[in-house]
Amino acid sequence: MVDESKCITCGACVAICPVGAIKIVNGKAKLDPKKCIKCGSCQQFCPVSAIDLSKSEQPKNTDSSKESA
């Protein structure tokens, strides 16, 4: 989750995200929970601590190969 009140739109999170899960929308970083792999890079590199992945929406696991037979 991105705290929009803290986000300064520096783009560090967008640049560091390995899966492109963060975009700048209307002047603030927006995280796509369906793309996010929770690696923590964005949270670590955000200079104002605007990102807290522990508050992010958990995507549903749709990988059927992980289901037990």
Amino acid residing at 53: L
Instruction: Report residue 58's pLDDT band, with 50, 70 and 90 as the boundaries.
Output: low
pLDDT tens sequence across 29-45: 999 999 999 999 999 99
Give the Cα separation of 67 and 69 in Å (integer): 6
CATH architecture entry for 1-54: 2-Layer Sandwich (3.30)
Instruction: Provide φ and ψ at 14, rounded to 5°.
Output: -65, -45
Give the Cα separation of 49 and 35 in Å (integer): 21
> Domain boundaries in the chain?
1-54
Calculate the alpha carbon distances from 33 to 6, 49, 61 in Å: 19, 18, 12
pTM of the model as a whole: 0.75
